[in-house]
Amino acid sequence: MAITLEQLHAYEACHGDIDGWSRSNLAQSRPHSGENWTLLDELIMGLCSEASGYASSRFSVELRKRIDQAAPDPNVQRELRELAKRSANW
C-alpha cells in the first residue's frame, strides 16, 4: 500500500504518536494502518539520519529505493522529506 498525503498529514498532526492518533478523532476520519505508521517512522528516521550526515552512501541509496517503493508519487516524496525536517522540532 502506497503512502498518501493524507497519511502524512495524520502522522504530523499526532507528531508521529500512533497511540495519540488511535485515541483521536483522526483515527476515524483518516484511515491508517500500523504497518504504514511503522514504515513512516522508519523512513523519517532514515531521512533524519541522512540529513545529519551519519548515513553511509549505501544507506542513502537503499533509503531512496524504499521511498520510491512506498511513495511513488513525487508530491508525497517531497512532503515526506519536508515532514522529516519538521519532525526535528517535535
- Which ranges in the chain belong to alpha helices (H)? 5-13, 18-23, 26-29, 34-52, 57-70, 74-87
Question: How large is the angle between the packed helices 74-87 and 34-52, nearest 10 degrees?
Answer: 70
- pLDDT-based confidence at 81, cuts 50/70/90? very high
pLDDT tens digits along 1-46: 799 998 899 899 889 888 877 777 665 555 566 788 899 999 999 9
pTM here is 0.86
Mean pLDDT of 82-88: 95
What is the domain partition of the chain in residue ranges?
Answer: 5-87
Supply the Cα-derived Rg of the chain in whole angstroms.
Answer: 13
* Residues whose CB falls within 8 Å of the CB of residue 83, separated by 6 or more in sequence, listed in order: 8, 11, 12, 44
Q: Percent of the chain beyond pLDDT 70?
A: 90
- pLDDT-based confidence at 76, cuts 50/70/90? very high
Q: Which three cell numbers stand for residue 8?
A: 502524512
